[in-house]
Structure 1
Amino acid sequence: MRSVRICLLIPQSGAAGLWAPSAEACGRLAVDEINAMSGVLRRPVELHVVNAGETGPSAGWAARDAIDIDRVDGIVGMLPSFARDFVARAARGRVPFIYTPQFEGRSSTLDVMATGETAEELLSPAIQWLSETRRARRYFLCGNDYVWPRSSLQIARRLIARFGGTVTGEYYLPVGQHDFDEVLDRIKATRSDVVLPYFLGSDCIAFNRAFCAAGLSSRTLRFSSAIDETVAYGLNADETENLYAASSYYGSIRSRNNGAFLERYHTAYGDSPPPVNAFGESCYEGIYSLASLIEEAASLDARKLTRLYGRTFQRRTARGDLAQSVVGGRHPIYLAQLDGYDFSIIARR
């Protein structure tokens, strides 16, 4: 009886490539734990880490090769939204596809099981907190020019209006372009209270560096759910002034389950592993979600597995052992202020 083969599909270069080390580390930890508990369907699990590349088509080609050549039984993908449907088309009807990162919340017509938080879930408590606690009224929106930033910031517009604020401007740049002079000039001219930068990975680091170099950090707040530990480590400590974030996971969350997860993570990888973050941890959850699907269906048949999308059954997470649902039971959202390199939790919604 052969092993159960899982493809972990992640970009290993480009703007999103900075998350690859933590994604792979969390994925391998999940597989090691599953194998220590007798595997899936009493078979050992074999992890194939596959480079999705930097574009949607490259991710689709990588998924097809994983299915046709590596003969994987399922795909767990931590990818930008512009690559999601390319992978879904490659996987549809052949293997299940678990999509793990936070995303804009648009439902796809293709067979995708999304386990990450939506923009609505992340933005709503944050904008309410900024409005009520920091009295923010004037918001400037900016980010990369693709579906996740544009759709997320469209949701932000509606929430800002609901809480009595106004949008002072909106600006988008292609992925990989780091000429921020015009957008920073517009932010200065509008005298905004808050900037919502939705840039991807290394682009997010570049924007925040430029923002601080322009002298804006002392008088303008920044908030984004696109900022995590990996992005923070790309900044100087003084470049985190007035920087806020929202996520369902931070390594700094104090809980029994997260403490146990971090202990297992550091036992596996030592004192200086890739930083734990929401994007990497989502791969840990994604692999457990796929394993739970297979166990529930008692089959590797993609048709049987995809019929279970949305059904309630148990899966393991770093935030709470055995969450109630693969897609329906949502995690709490944590608002945090970045203090140097530490995410200090300021609210839980």
Structure 2
Amino acid sequence: MGVVIPLRGSAGIFGPSCEAVTETALARINAEGGLLGRRVRPVVIDGGRPASEVAADVGALVGAGRIHAVTGWHISRVRQHLVPVVGGHVPYVYTSLYEGGESATGVFCSGETPPDQVAPAMRWMRDEQGARDLFVVGDDYVWPRSTARSCRGYAHDLGMRVVGEAFVELGTEDFDGVLERVRASGADTVLMLLVGQDAVAFNRAFAEADLQSRVRRLTPLMEENMLLGSGADSTEDLFVAAAYFRSLPTESALELSGAYAAMHGPEAPPLNNMAESCYEGLMALEALVRRAGTARPERLSRVADSVGYDGPRGPMRLRSGHIHQRVYMARADGLGFEILARL
């Protein structure tokens, strides 16, 4: 199993948790007989490198028959490079939230997409927090850019306004200029589309600029490692929309938390949304392979619309290569999240 997860760069903060939860998932799968009568072994590939390098390595592993499926959390730029070298050869379950639109044969997306995550979150912020004027701050690649375009349409439909946008290179640490633009725009809410360490740096700068007492933040990408890095004093009025939080009380979520703690102990990397997405990706692949009786991508695509399972996020159902799932709104509360509503 090729597991593409970031071990460096802005998203490297997620790597240890993703790797640890993958071990937990595969231990369960192997205890239940593996897949197609074979034990499953992870081959971890660093998805934090340039996308072309990641794709070259994965393509070589697929071509040599050393990996028989690909999954993992990584940014959309990496996914766009992987699909041409993987699609149609081995199944690929992409686990990250993303901008939507992927339709290649044998490629399945188990993460949240803007219509099911960002659009209802904006509506909730309008209705429950009085948000009206949004300023978008994102990293400069396909997911934030495409999501921002969608948000302009959502804002129009909701009677809201996008009053400004700023996109920064991955790895940005200096947000002074962006924050001046936020202040000058008169926005009451910042929509953050920043990855990992970039969001940590932004949260710290946001608090230091004394903006958090007057401007809310909404993001679809925030987890416990990022809260810890930001510090509790930098996350006032920070709202997060996601399909999984560690505090989610579903039966499967509690089972995962117990299995994760039993395997990795109290010093384990925090179990979080990005890591749990890797667990969901493996559950989705397991369900697909068991339903089809094969790992052939074209056969998996044919049976996909009849596949569903109960995961830590709740009932999951595949439709047109994407998993439809519940999404929740939460507020940062110290180093954790208080779930406020199901969207």
TM bucket (normalised to shorter chain) is over 0.9
Q: Identify the match of residue 206 of structure 2 among 200, 203, 211.
A: 211
Provide the residue aligned with 1:117 in structure 2. Answer: 112
The question of whether the paired residues in 1 share the 8 Å contact of 2:87 and 2:104 is answered with no
Relative to structure 1, the CA distance from residue 91 to residue 33 in structure 2 (aligned partners, 3 Å threshold; closer, same or farther) is same
Tell which deviates more after alignment, 160-169 or 325-334.
325-334
Q: Identify the match of residue 136 of structure 1 among 131, 148, 161.
A: 131
Q: Identify the match of residue 325 of structure 1 among 318, 321, 329.
A: 318
Which consecutive residues of structure 1, in runs of 5 or more, have no partner in the other structure?
1-5
Provide the residue aligned with 1:11 in structure 2. Answer: 6
Cα deviation code 1:180-229 (max 9, x no counterpart): 12111011111210001111111111111111111111111000011122
Cα deviation code 1:23-44 (max 9, x no counterpart): 1111111110011111112221
Report whether the alignment pairs 1:220 with 2:215: yes
Q: Identify the match of residue 238 of structure 1 among 233, 241, 252.
A: 233
Provide the residue aligned with 2:245 in structure 1. Answer: 250
Provide the residue aligned with 2:336 in structure 1. Answer: 342
Tell which deviates more after alignment, 133-142 or 322-331.
322-331
Structure 2 Cα separation of the partners of residues 165 and 306 of structure 1: 39
Relative to structure 1, the CA distance from residue 169 to residue 324 in structure 2 (aligned partners, 3 Å threshold; closer, same or farther) is closer
RMSD of the alignment, in Å?
Answer: 1.7
Report whether the alignment pairs 1:286 with 2:286: no
Relative to structure 1, the CA distance from residue 236 to residue 39 in structure 2 (aligned partners, 3 Å threshold; closer, same or farther) is same
Tell which deviates more after alignment, 20-29 or 48-57.
48-57
Relative to structure 1, the CA distance from residue 269 to residue 289 in structure 2 (aligned partners, 3 Å threshold; closer, same or farther) is same
Deviation for aligned residue 1:69: 4.1
Cα deviation code 1:229-270 (max 9, x no counterpart): 221111111101111110000001122221121111111111
What amino acid does structure 2 have at the position aligned with 1:17? Answer: G
Matched ranges for 1:1-349 at <5 A: 6-69=1-64, 71-109=66-104, 111-308=106-303, 310-315=304-309, 317-320=311-314, 323-325=316-318, 327=321, 330-349=324-343
SS in 2 for 1:23: helix
Relative to structure 1, the CA distance from residue 50 to residue 328 in structure 2 (aligned partners, 3 Å threshold; closer, same or farther) is closer
**Stretches of 4+ moved more than 4 A in 1?**
108-111, 326-329
What amino acid does structure 2 have at the position aligned with 1:30? Answer: A
Give the TM-score of the pair, scaled to structure 1.
0.93
Which consecutive residues of structure 2, in runs of 5 or more, have no partner in the other structure?
none
Number of equivalences? 342
SS in 2 for 1:46: coil
Deviation for aligned residue 1:129: 1.2
Structure 1 Cα separation of the partners of residues 12 and 310 of structure 2: 26
SS in 1 for 2:230: coil
Give the TM-score of the pair, scaled to structure 2.
0.94
Deviation for aligned residue 1:284: 0.8
The question of whether the paired residues in 2 share the 8 Å contact of 1:41 and 1:295 is answered with yes
What amino acid does structure 2 have at the position aligned with 1:250? Answer: F
Percent identity over paired residues: 33
SS in 1 for 2:164: strand
Deviation for aligned residue 1:108: 4.4
Deviation for aligned residue 1:116: 0.7
SS in 2 for 1:325: strand
Cα deviation code 1:128-184 (max 9, x no counterpart): 111111111111111111110011111111112222111111111111122212111
Deviation for aligned residue 1:119: 1.5
Relative to structure 1, the CA distance from residue 256 to residue 298 in structure 2 (aligned partners, 3 Å threshold; closer, same or farther) is closer
Structure 2 Cα separation of the partners of residues 193 and 311 of structure 1: 41
Structure 1 Cα separation of the partners of residues 298 and 36 of structure 2: 17
The question of whether the paired residues in 2 share the 8 Å contact of 1:88 and 1:111 is answered with no
Structure 1 Cα separation of the partners of residues 127 and 120 of structure 2: 10
The question of whether the paired residues in 1 share the 8 Å contact of 2:48 and 2:74 is answered with no
